[in-house]
Amino acid sequence: MKRIKLLAGFLVVMLFGCFVVYKATSMAVIPIKKATSLQHPVFHDGDIVFQSNISPQCKAIEMATHSPYSHCGMLYNIEGKWMVYEAVQPVSSTTFEEWIARSNGKYAVKRLKNAATVLTPEVMKNMHRVALQYNGKDYDAYFEWSNDRIYCSELVWKIYKELTGLELGTLQRLEEFDLSSPLVKKELERRYGKNIPFKELVISPARIYECNLLEDVK
């Protein structure tokens, strides 16, 4: 039974494994062809980076969440190179160049408004330690609120919560999303069958992006 669920989870990742969000609104994105630390000196360790997934299979989530962002991760610099720590399959680090290539170079970056006082060198050292405890964990295709498996926005939210005590966005229950579209209903049934966990707590990239504790990084 466990094997069947794991196989189903793999298929979900392939068909529905993104937390994509979209709506017709202004979206601050930065088109680039190549990213280096010299071109982006404004980045800081701990910045949160967002992107829109271009996969057509994510349309149902786009309709359910009404926001332009499908995925997020945390930026950190190692030996002059910017990396994104993200929950994919499995949780791992990706070069910034590779990361933004998934969305044709379009992305947005957020930072704590009081980052200079909250994200001290000691806190950042601990943040790296806490982040490593998730390294290698499987991607959570079911968006369950647990540490057994983890999805992108859950990873970012939990790291910040543990290290700073701050909640970057309010958790929602699945039933709070817009589930009225026939496409959304179809994909929910594909994922969960008849046992849709409407009461499951979820944090979306959109909720983190909209958090008033964060500000845009230009």
Q: Is the pLDDT of residue 206 over 80?
A: yes
Give the whole-angstrom CA distance, residue 140 versus residue 138: 6
Retrieve residue 62's tokens: 């786009």
Q: What pLDDT score was predicted for residue 29? A: 43
Average pLDDT rounded to a whole number, residues 31-36? 44
Average pLDDT rounded to a whole number, residues 192-198? 92
Q: What is the pLDDT of residues 164-181, one digit of tens each?
A: 999 999 999 999 999 998
Q: What pLDDT score was predicted for residue 10? A: 35
Average pLDDT rounded to a whole number, residues 37-61? 74
Domain 2-216 has CATH 3.40.50.720: no
9 touches 142 (CB < 8 A): yes
Neighbouring C-beta atoms of residue 211, cutoff 10 Å: 20
Give the whole-angstrom CA distance, residue 108 versus residue 135: 24
Q: What pLDDT score was predicted for residue 5? A: 41
Give domain limits for the chain: 2-216
Q: Please give the residue that has the higher pLDDT: either 12 or 24.
A: 12
Sequence-ordered strand ranges (E) for the chain? 48-51, 71-78, 81-87, 91-95, 108-112, 172-173, 201-202, 214-216
Task: Give the whole-number percent of the chain exceeding pLDDT 70.
Answer: 78
Q: What pLDDT score was predicted for residue 104? A: 77
- Model confidence at 161, in pLDDT bands (50, 70, 90)? very high
Minimum mean pLDDT among 5-9, 45-49, 157-161, 170-174: which range? Answer: 5-9
- Model confidence at 28, in pLDDT bands (50, 70, 90)? very low
Minimum mean pLDDT among 56-65, 103-112, 147-156: which range? Answer: 56-65
Q: What pLDDT score was predicted for residue 207? A: 92
Q: What is the pLDDT of residues 83-122, one digit of tens each?
A: 999 999 999 999 999 998 888 777 899 999 999 999 999 9
Mean pLDDT of the chain: 81
Give residue 183's identity as a one-letter amino acid code: L
Task: Give the whole-number percent of the chain exceeding pLDDT 90.
Answer: 55
